[in-house]
Amino acid sequence: MMIIEVLGPAEMWFDAKDGRIRYLGNEVLLYYLEEIEPMPAEVKATKTEAEIIQLAEKYRQIIMGDFSKEMTYAKPKAKFHSYGMDVGKWEITWQRLINGYSVWADCIRIRIYDSLNLDLDGFSAFGAGLQYESCPTDVKINSEDAKKVAWATVDFIQREYYTYIKDLKFTLDKSELLIIAPNYLFDSRVKDWSVGFLENRTTRLAYRFDFLSENRDRLGIDIDAETGEVLGASLPK
């Protein structure tokens, strides 16, 4: 049996709907690293990707139990941060899938420090997405037709909604089919789209088009893959 040892206070977030742990952070470890033994500017990994994934899988089972078996996830991916804000930290991610399509912002993520002068294995934090509801994955709109709707929406945003970007020239940077939680940003029936948005767990299969301006401003448009409806957008900051 493996036990996650937190040397002091731990920050935990629970889902009010189902009681599942959404976040678990080892606050004492973070304090230790910030105040007692700061990490160097650049480090090299001492563990292999296979070793860190095996350790992370154990953490996932301990924290989530059988909950993680209710969903389908892609094989875990591990990334080591050799420099920057997360220097010395491994980040292991399980991306949730519905009928083979990635579900945006719905993943399990565990962070583990590679090597520390401590009598523990460096568990830093666990986080889980909202675990959105499933949805049909029928594709009835082809990508070219969806792209035309997306471009028309970009034009609308520049003319009517975000006029401060009206003179920017956007180009299509990338597109993909994925499961999203619509924010219905331009739906007149939604009086305040931000209210309850983070608790919206309904989903749709959508084409997500990411546009990029010469100023590196990003604009995302979501088009329903079954109906061609504009499901929402992510706007430049």
The least confident of 64-73, 128-137, 162-171, 210-219 is 64-73
pLDDT value at residue 197 = 46
Is 62 contained in some domain? yes
Looking at residue 83, the DSSP 8-state letter turns out to be B
29-85, pLDDT tens digit by residue? 666 666 556 667 778 888 899 999 999 999 998 888 766 667 889 999 999 998 877
- Total Cβ atoms within 10 A of residue 9: 11
Mean pLDDT computed over every residue of the chain? 81
Is 224 contained in some domain? yes
Residues 80 and 106 placed together within one structural domain of the fold: yes
- Total number of domains in the chain: 2
Is 192 contained in some domain? yes
Residues 103 and 17 placed together within one structural domain of the fold: yes
Is 2 contained in some domain? no
Burial of 179 (0-12, 13-18, 19+ CB in 10 A): buried
Residues 17 and 121 placed together within one structural domain of the fold: yes
Is 3 contained in some domain? no
- Identify the CATH number of the domain in which residue 159 sits: 3.10.450
Q: Name the pLDDT band for 108 (thresholds 50, 70, 90).
A: very high
Is 133 contained in some domain? no
Residues 182 and 76 placed together within one structural domain of the fold: no
**Residue 20 main-chain phi, psi, to 5 deg:** -75, 150
Q: Which of 82, 102, 128 lies at the terminal end of a domain, its last residue?
A: 128
Residues 121 and 183 placed together within one structural domain of the fold: no
Which carries the bigger pLDDT value, residue 172 or residue 119? 172
Long-range CB contacts (within 8 A, 24+) of 73-77 = 73/97, 73/107, 73/108, 74/102
Residues 152 and 95 placed together within one structural domain of the fold: no
pLDDT value at residue 32 = 60
pTM of the model: 0.76
- Domain span including residue 173: 143-234
Residues 76 and 147 placed together within one structural domain of the fold: no
